[in-house]
Amino acid sequence: MSENPYQTPASSRSEFDRPVEAAFNLVELRLIAESQRRVLLCFLGQLILYVLSSKIPWEYVEVLWVAVLILSLGCVVQLVNRLKGWVAAAVVGFFSMIPLVGMVVLLTVGASAAWVLRRAGFKIGLLGVNPHQIQEAIDARENRRVPES
């Protein structure tokens, strides 16, 4: 009776236990980090335009608003495509076109990317991971692989 009957089996691993490197390589993580930064910047742009639209007449903000919404749609679809694929990107893109729901979608998608990047061992800042940090990891990995002549 030396075994604990309440202990989880050692061979039982959930999908959360597998390393992120198995799902994404460093180049894909750099692209995800760049897309996440764009999504978070789009969220900040929408937030600023919401505040401006209550202070300034709508006619002045209208053109900027349409431009930021189109840019946000493209950025969120690109990030979701890199994380989950085209089907999820199309669904999320549809929901991101709805006012105010789009802001929630931007934050949710940004949080999903942050989760993946954090699991890969990168530090998350206000605007996500610095893509240069991932590029340094790529360069460090390539320097280790250089064959000695």
pLDDT tens digit sequence for 15-60: 444 444 455 788 888 889 999 999 999 999 988 988 888 888 877 7
Domain residues of the chain, as ranges? 23-138
Contacts 24+ apart (CB under 8 A), 116-119: 116/20, 116/23, 116/24, 116/29, 116/32, 116/83, 117/29, 117/32, 117/33, 117/36, 119/19, 119/20
H/E element, 132: helix 131-145
Nearest to 36 by CA among 146, 126, 104: 126
CA distances in angstroms from 13 to 9, 16, 19, 21, listed in the order given: 9, 8, 11, 16
> Comparing 22-26, 57-61, 94-98, 105-109, which segment has the lowest mean pLDDT?
22-26
What are 125's strand-pairing partners?
Answer: 128
pLDDT tens per residue across span 73-83: 999 999 999 99
Cα Rg for the chain, rounded, in angstroms? Answer: 20
pLDDT, one tens digit per residue, over 30-39 is 889 999 999 9
Name which of 136, 84, 74, 91 is nearest 113 in CA terms: 84
